A and B are shown apart, each in its own frame.
Chain A
């Protein structure tokens, strides 16, 4: 019999509990999906067909945990997880990332960088990529992260990103998720913004059977601006569960969250968001909007917007809507000869456009619209 020497991270992981039904941060959520006990990390993977290049972007390609091609002077692969934290209900999953992730891609720059990261996912088991984006003063970093399934295996992607925008820097990050519908995605997306920095963090979800995403943005320096954007297009058998926290820790800060979900078939979405303004964070300007477009009578959207203000002279708003496709819009399009199905598709696609346009980056907008179009080609 041999002794087992667990790392401190593994010990922490062992000491924590899997999410439970009674936890507020898992309200309406499928907490059982988050129980990953017994799962092993995925082995070596294969690459799929590479998407067309993004002009001006350096490209780094991973097949499961292995880097297969590409490099950048601004990116370094370092051993182990950077140690994400979960403040929105999943410390056990964050600890799992810390204990098991093989490496972190650390992106750091003081200048303009455009980087595309492609993650090909194959085989069954846990895949735990991690990225730190550190924008130093004057930097303008654009990162595209694309998750693409190579096969139909039930992969579990547990991914963490930490954006650190120092004074006078800008980060734009677009994540596109096109995993197969047997897979799960759990994603921690943290950002910390110092004075006069600007972070624009966007995600487009079209794949996976279950997504749990925890986005925590700390706006910590005056004139910092955090934008959080999401487009989700789930269909039957898909559930997307997104929890967000916009944390204003300094005076004169700005955040704006816009999520749009278009639900097809028997899709299910959960959105829970909180704007939290610290004491003394006067002059905060914060907005949070989640809109759901229900394409059928059988889909289900839960929204829980929230606001807690502990400062003065604050402008905040939060809201959520659920609506059906407008009959008036459909009639108008059909009166011009567009068939009913195409009219509904045009309106539904148009619904996401407001989010995509906020990227204010033609290349990224085009990429996001491509991903959306691919999904629309598969739904009725």
Chain B
């Protein structure tokens, strides 16, 4: 079981960004992708999630062997892909609770209704774990949230939706050290043999808290180097200069 990215080529407004990227994330593993600005890291996460603005020109994304490249965004989510956004959207007038209920309801067969009592119980337990005030259930999704609150909210959604594969796009950006620890704790609590993670980050710091099994370096739309957790430390030490001489 894995999330497999095969020979992925993608462009934005005609400009090629991903140029034949291959990556396999087996369930049970955490993979980190690092790389300089503009290397295509965020594009990769958006393409896997199915964003319309990014055009898949070649290659495919397989979820446990099933090609999901042709699925709509919502279908991919329900199939088990979760993207924690770098910049989560604000949705005025839609409460967090209603949003999560709609997302969970969409996963149920027609005619089956979500159990409201169980839903709230589950949500409150997870909010406690993330040290989120319960008032956030009735607040509009991300509206007026601080950077840290938005990221916690992303992790809350991830915990509630229980996805098969989680993509974390620069989840550490905008987080102070305390919030980072809480968010990492939430992510770590979800690590299991049945779930894979792809963590996109600029900084080693996040990987101190979410220990990766593999680290990949991305440059110019491809994976150019892979290694263990120690690779992140090397990058922190010496940066990406090696790319220029490679």
Contacts and interface: CB of A to CB of B under 8 A. Distances in A.
Interface of A: 326-329, 331-340, 342-343, 346-347, 349-354
B74 A354 contact: no
B89 A350 contact: no
Contacts of B92: 350-351, 353-354
Contacts, number: 81
Contact of B89 (A332, A340, A342, A351): A332
21 contacts: A326-B89, A328-B89, A332-B85, A332-B88, A332-B141, A335-B74, A336-B77, A336-B103, A336-B161, A337-B107, A337-B161, A338-B102, A338-B103, A339-B106, A346-B91, A346-B102, A349-B93, A350-B93, A350-B140, A353-B92, A354-B92
B94 A350 contact: yes
B89 A349 contact: no
* A-B CB proximity, top 10 nearest: A350-B93, A353-B93, A337-B77, A332-B89, A350-B94, A334-B73, A336-B103, A334-B74, A337-B78, A328-B89
A336 B102 CA distance: 9
Contacts of A335: 49-50, 73-74, 77, 83, 85
B73 A347 contact: no
B113 interface: no
Contacts of B106: 337-339, 342
Contacts of A340: 72, 74
Interface centre among B78, B91, B141 (most CB of A within 10 A): B91
B51 interface: yes
A337 B101 CA distance: 11
Contacts of A351: 92-93
Interface of B: 49-52, 72-74, 77-78, 83, 85, 88-94, 98-100, 102-103, 106-107, 140-141, 157, 161
A337 B85 CA distance: 14
B91 A329 contact: yes
Contacts of B100: 336
B122 to A, nearest CB: 16
Interface centre among A328, A331, A342, A347 (most CB of B within 10 A): A331
A334 B81 CA distance: 12
Nearest to B49: A335
A347 B94 contact: yes
B93 A336 contact: no
B70 to A, nearest CB: 15
B26 to A, nearest CB: 23
B55 to A, nearest CB: 15
Contacts of B85: 332, 335
A331 B52 contact: yes
A170 B68 CA distance: 58
A168 to B, nearest CB: 32
Nearest to A348: B93
Contacts of A326: 89
A346 B90 CA distance: 13
B161 A329 contact: no
Nearest to B74: A334
Nearest to A337: B77
Nearest to B140: A350
Nearest to B98: A346
B89 A329 contact: yes
B93 A339 contact: no
Given A329-B89, A334-B74, A339-B74, 6 more contacts: A332-B89, A332-B141, A336-B100, A340-B74, A347-B94, A350-B92
B102 A342 contact: yes
Contacts of B73: 331, 334-335
A331 B74 CA distance: 9
Contacts of A349: 93-94
B44 to A, nearest CB: 15
A89 B157 CA distance: 52
Contact of B93 (A327, A332, A352): A352
Contacts of A352: 93
Contacts of A333: 91, 94, 99, 102-103
A12 to B, nearest CB: 45
A337 B92 CA distance: 19
A216 B51 CA distance: 47
Contacts of B90: 329
Contacts of A347: 91, 93-94
B99 A336 contact: yes
Contacts of B107: 337
B167 to A, nearest CB: 10
Interface centre among A339, A340, A350 (most CB of B within 10 A): A350
Contacts of B99: 333, 336, 338, 346
A262 to B, nearest CB: 11
B157 A336 contact: yes
Contact of A332 (B52, B72, B91, B161): B91
A261 B165 CA distance: 40
Nearest to A351: B93
A331 B161 CA distance: 17
